[in-house]
Structures are given as C-alpha cells and as structure tokens.
Chain A
Amino acid sequence: MAIANVLLVDDEVPFVETMTNRLSKRDLQVTTAFSGAEALEKLGQKESNVEVVILDVKMPGMDGIETLGEIKRAYPLVEVVMLTGHATVETAIEGMKLGAFDYLMKPCDMEVLVAKVGGAASRKREQERKIVEARIKEITMRRA
C-alpha cells in the first residue's frame, strides 16, 4: 500500500527519473509530467487518483505558479508541494496564497520531502473524509 499517490512535475528529465526512483523506493506511487500542461492532462484522466503534486516552479511554457493556479481551480482537493532551484519571497508568498501546501528548495532532503508529501496526503484525505461525512449527513437529513 503506497503512502501516497504523487504526480511529479518538472521539465528536467534526469531529475524526474531519479526522483521517481527514490520516491518509489520510499513507497510512493509516482506519476510524472514534464510540463504544466501535461500535468493537468494527467490529472484529468479518469484513472488518476493523484493526491499530491510535487511541482517545479521554473518551467518553460506554463510555469509553476500558473500551473498551481490551474490545478487548484480544477482539482481543489489535490495538494501541491512546490519545489524550486532558487528561492524568492515573492514566489513563495504567491504560491501560499494560491493554496500550495508547502514550499521546498532544490536540492532538498529526501526525508523532508517525503514527510511533507505524507502530510499533504493526510490533509487531502482528511478533507475528502469531511466532505463525504457532510454529504452523508445531508442525505440522511433529507431522508429524515
């Protein structure tokens, strides 16, 4: 049973490959995308049950912040952890405002990343549970 189901989004191919290996070794289910557009596509697929998106900030085409915005709009329950090769206060603030779960700098400590992903996944599941509960309550009340 995987700890979490993650979508890794980064335009650097070797980085994605190695990260996939390392995350898989730590019992994470990893899907990959090499651009923001591809990420949204993958998220749109019916079989997708991605819980956390690990998202690079600097990407050609649709950059990280833009992608984050799109993801949050289309899939509000999916959590996003941002990864970046350089830190800017402005990008961090923007990311947090748009609803990112957290923000990490590359190269990051693997253990820290896994912990964060775990936290994000937990939150997502918690949110889902609450929604389901609320729905059941509603149905029950209607029936009553």
Chain B
Amino acid sequence: MNQKDSSGHGYYRSLTRNIVLLVIVVSITPMILVSGLLLYQFQNSYREKIYAHLGEVVQKHKQKIDGFLNERLDDIRFMARTFSFEELSDESFLHDRLFTLQKEFGPVFVDLGVVNERGIQVAYSGPYKLGRALYSDAKWFKMAMTREYFISDVFLGLRGLPHFIIAVKENWKGQSWLLRATIDFVAFNTLVENIRIGQTGFAFIVNKDGEFQTRSLLDVAACKDIYLDVLAEGKAGENKMSIAERCDSTGKKNILVADFLKGNDWLLVYQQDSADAFSDLGRALRWTILINVLGGLAILTMAFILSGRIVKRIAKTDQEKNKVDEQIIETGKLASIGELAAGIAHEINNPVAIMVEEAGWIGDLLEEEEFKESSNLSEFKRALSQIRTQGKRCKDITYKLLSFARKTDPREQDVQLNELLDELVVLSGQRAKYGNITITTDFQEDLPTVMVSQSEMQQVFLNLINNSMDAMEKRGGKIEVRTLLEERHLVVEISDNGPGIPRANLGRIFDPFFTTKPVGKGTGLGLSICYGIIKKYGGEIEVQSAPDVETTFRVKIPLPEDTLDRMGTRPAGPEKY
C-alpha cells in the first residue's frame, strides 16, 4: 500500500523524466547526426569545389599573365632579332619602333632602350630623359647580361616610378647588347587587379623575396611570412599550384592560392577571406545550427508537454485501475461475505430447527396430566411460545440473508403500486396504532402499472415503512406514503417526521450490515436489499433527511416504454392513437 502512495509523486516524476529524456535523445540524436553528417559532407565537397574553382581562376589568370609577359617578350625579341644594333641605335628609328609597338599594343610599352655591353643606354625612346643613362650597376642589367632574356622585378629605378623591364640580349659583331622595354606598371597591375572574386578576393604578385610586384588592396605586408612559406614549399616541390588556408595577424582566416609565374620567379597569389570564399558554406552552417537549435527547442518543449500529458493520462488510468481494483476487491469481498452468510444461514437453520422442535416436544409433554396442576404451567407455555417465536425470527433473518446472498428470480408481473402500498399500510396498521403513529397516503390517480415482482416490491416498501416506524416507536409521529408520476419515472415517497438520519450516516445506510439499531434488533440488511432490488429494475432509491423535521425515502422506478408512449412523453415518434 505504501508503495502506491509514494508512487503518486516520486514515481510519476521519475516516469516523466524518463519519457522526456527518451524523447529528447531519440529525437535530437538523429537530427544532430544527420545534420552533422550532411554538413560535413557538404563542407568537404563545397571546399573542394571552391578550391577547384579558385584554382581554375588562378590558373586562367596565370596563363593570361604569363601569356602577356611572353607576348611582350616575344615582341621585343622579334624586334631585337629583326633589326640590327646599328639600326636600333638610331634614336629616331627606335622611336618609330616604339610608336609601332604602342599603336599595336597600346600604352603597355612605356619606352624602349638599347644598352650596350658596358651598360650605357646608347639609344632611348620614351617619355623620360634617360638617353645615355648608365645601367652598369643596375641589378637588372647585370641579370640581363647573364641570359638570353630577362624580365625584371618591379622596381623604381632611375625614373623613380614602379616599373619593370623586359630585356633581350643579342650579339652584334661579338659584342652583346640589350634591347630593353619598360612595361607599364599600371596596365600590368590592372591585369592582376582584375582578378576579383567575391567580396574580399584579390590577387597580387610577389617575387622570390616576398616583395610585392603589384599594388595590393590591403596592407598585407605583415603577412609576408606566409607567402615565403608557400614559396619555400614551391621551391622544394614541383612547379605546381598550391592552395592553403592560413590565419593572418588579426586571426582572420584566408584562402591563399598561389602559382608560379615567369618561370618560377614570381608568385601569383590570390587571397580571399575564408569566410567570404566559403560564404555559402557559412550560411549553410548558420542555417543548420539555427534549425537544429529551433528543432531542439521544439523537441524539448514537445518532450516536456507530451510526457506531461502522457504521465497525466497514465496517472489517471492508474487511478481508475485502482478504483476498479478496489471495486473488484469489494465485489469479491461481498461475494465471499455472501457465500459465508449463506453457509452460516444453512448451518444456523438446523440447530434452530432442533431447538424449536425440542421446545415443541416440551410443550407436547406438558399436555400430560402430571403437569396440569403445576403453578408454573402458564409460564412454561409462554416461554415455549417465545422459543418458537424467536426460532421463527431466526428463520426470517436467515431467509433474508440468503436471499441477499443468492440471486433468486421471482417472477415479474404488472403491479399496481397504489394497491400494493395500500395493503402494506393496512398490514402495518396494528403496529402503527400501538406506536402512536399515523400513516396517511397520497396516491397519484391513474398510476400506471410497472413490470416488477410483487413480493420484491412488498419487501422494499414494507422495509421502508418498518424503518420509519422503528425510528418513531418511542414518541410516535406521522408517516406519509405518496405516489407520483415524473416524466419517465414512477416515484414512491415514504416520509416520516422522526429523528431522521445524521448526515454522517447518509452515505452508508445502503451498505450491507450497516445498522444503527441496537444489537439484536436489526440486521442492517434491509436497506441494502431494497437498494439491490430497485437497482435491478433500473430505478433509484434516495434519501433526504432533516432530523426531527422530515426524512424522506424516494424510490424511482422507470416506466415501461409502452406506458411512456401512451403518456405521450416520448419526444420522438408519431402519435400512436
């Protein structure tokens, strides 16, 4: 029993908790797993796609730039091979050549110059005053002299402006000479700057020392090391493109795509914020997280609500089950009591019968002559008569007990209750007179008959009348027997103005064996039998009691269908007349 009481709270709380946890785990885990898995896959393939894309873009641009450089180189080389040193040393000829180049290719070529072995520019055509300039100490000159052609890094040079040089070495009469051209930095820069992808992607070129060859959009000088890293990698490995993600000094992650240009002299670097490059991914991630969080919250909420409801339902069902169990136990108890009672009744009847017979025998013997003179004869006879009476009473009691325990099936017939009640009133007349009790009747006229057992009805109403009389025995009073018709019921009321029934007992008076009569006077079975009988006919028996004012027992018996039809009380159906 104790376990059940505490199961009220602790049990249901833990049940709720278990259900909540289960629901949450079972719902959220797959959601997160699936999201995670898909996100991971997406991330990987997206990254690959981006890398591939960027790689392609950079490749394309590298080719463009390389192509540009090579084309310019070819132009100069062609020129150097086509025209002799002498020809080109003529400044007006050089001028024409420059003009032709500029006409053909636009302002890409800033100027042209012919430089001899000793580093003296013997001819110059261009916007700057660089005629007869000396380049013997210039790095580019030194480099150019060591190879067939040379493309320099970007430098300021004599003119003080960023530019780079394409120089081609030729031989004339055993002496080397250089034809050099300046490439317009701006035009070149634009070429590189045009690589723009996304919001933050831009490209630039650095040389082997990490020095910028083009203008960079942002101040990325501080991150030189990273490029040197990449450069180092490139030197070590083959001549291939590398893609990496690095964090800069501010902690921002960048994608770097780098590829070598100009025969591994220059590095074309493309840089973009990782966040920008992977913006789609970032968005997908944010959405996924949002959905997961919202989903998680929804699941959480639902888990609590659902489990709350489920547990409430379970609790209610448990309660009902407990009630049903109690009822079953009650019924079982009653059944056992019934059987017990029946057994007892059987057992008691025999000894009682024997006692009565013995008393009768004594009575027989008293008839003999020898006792006729006895002074106590009348007393003997009275006592014997009393034994017989009490024996009969035992029989009545056991009979009542047995009829309660067993289900007897008396026949039903059309009974006119007014008549039946009238008979009972007459029957009770003697006892009433002696108890100073007046019984009055108030019968409904034309009361319809009901299909019931005559004897059972007698039993019920006689019981009620007797109860009233028992209650008022000492001081007398009034009993009224009424019959009336309600819409679908026939009602019999038995009222008395006796001491009534205290409120505390009202709920228990129909319980078997409940009695307020002194020991030996009542068995407590009467009302419970009445209750059972009336319930059997689908009726109701109620009581209202105001002590010393009025106590009324109200018996409602449902009217049979055809009676209702005749009375016209039925709401549906046609008139049957």
List residues of A whose CB falls within 8 A of some B CB.
Answer: 12, 14-15, 18-19, 21-22, 25, 58, 85-89, 105-107, 110
Contact = CB atoms under 8 A, between A and B. Distances in A.
Interface in B336-353: 345-346, 349-350, 352-353
Given A86-B402, A89-B408, A15 B346 contact: no
A64 to B, nearest CB: 13
A63 to B, nearest CB: 13
Determine chain B's interface SS by DSSP, over half rule: helix
Contacts of A87: 399
Given A15-B357, A86-B345, A22 B364 contact: yes
A18 B363 CA distance: 12
Q: Interface size class for chain B?
A: 20 to 34
B350 A12 contact: yes
Contacts of A14: 354, 358
Contacts of A19: 357
A105 B350 contact: no
B408 to A, nearest CB: 6
A51 B332 CA distance: 48
B461 to A, nearest CB: 22
Interface stretch (B139-147, B370-378, B390-398, B424-432): B390-398
B357 to A, nearest CB: 4
Top 4 closest pairs, chain A to chain B, by CB: A85-B349, A107-B356, A106-B353, A107-B353
Given A22-B357, A22-B360, A86-B402, A15 B395 contact: no
Nearest to B401: A86
Contact of B353 (A15, A21, A22, A110): A15
A140 to B, nearest CB: 48
Contact of A58 (B346, B356, B358): B346
Contacts, number: 54
Nearest to B352: A107
Contact of A85 (B346, B358, B392): B346
20 contacts: A12-B353, A12-B354, A14-B354, A15-B350, A19-B357, A22-B360, A22-B361, A85-B346, A85-B350, A85-B353, A86-B345, A86-B349, A89-B410, A106-B349, A107-B352, A107-B357, A107-B391, A107-B392, A107-B395, A110-B364
Contact of A105 (B358, B395, B408): B395
Nearest to B367: A25
Contacts of B395: 105-107
A18 B402 contact: no
A112 B295 CA distance: 92
Residue of B349, B350, B356 with most partner-chain A CB within 10 A: B350
Contacts of B345: 86
A22 B353 CA distance: 14
A70 B574 CA distance: 60
Contacts of A18: 354, 357-358, 360-361
A87 B364 CA distance: 27
Given A15-B350, A86-B402, A106-B350, 15 more contacts: A12-B350, A12-B354, A15-B354, A15-B357, A21-B361, A21-B364, A85-B349, A86-B349, A88-B408, A89-B410, A105-B395, A106-B353, A107-B352, A107-B357, A107-B395
A52 B388 CA distance: 26
A86 B398 contact: yes
B356 A86 contact: no
Nearest to A19: B357
A106 B398 CA distance: 12
Contacts of B352: 107
Residue of B357, B360, B398 with most partner-chain A CB within 10 A: B357
Contacts of A107: 352-353, 356-357, 388, 391-392, 395
B346 A86 contact: yes
A144 to B, nearest CB: 54
Contacts of B358: 14, 18
Contacts of B392: 107
A91 B408 CA distance: 12
Residue of B345, B352, B353, B408 with most partner-chain A CB within 10 A: B353
Nearest to B391: A107
A14 B361 CA distance: 12
A86 B399 contact: yes
B297 to A, nearest CB: 72
Contacts of B388: 107
Nearest to A15: B354
A73 B391 CA distance: 36
Contacts of A22: 357, 360-361, 364
Residue of A22, A25, A107 with most partner-chain B CB within 10 A: A107
A9 to B, nearest CB: 14
Contacts of A88: 406, 408
Residue of B354, B358, B361 with most partner-chain A CB within 10 A: B354
A58 B347 CA distance: 11
A5 B573 CA distance: 69
B363 to A, nearest CB: 9
Interface in B303-352: 345-346, 349-350, 352
B354 A110 contact: no
Residue of A14, A86, A106, A110 with most partner-chain B CB within 10 A: A86
A12 B354 CA distance: 8
Contacts of A25: 364
A142 B356 CA distance: 56
Nearest to A25: B364
Contacts of A89: 408-410
Nearest to B357: A18
A89 B409 CA distance: 9
B348 to A, nearest CB: 9
B350 to A, nearest CB: 5
A90 to B, nearest CB: 9
Nearest to B347: A85
A88 B346 CA distance: 12
A110 B384 CA distance: 14
A73 to B, nearest CB: 28
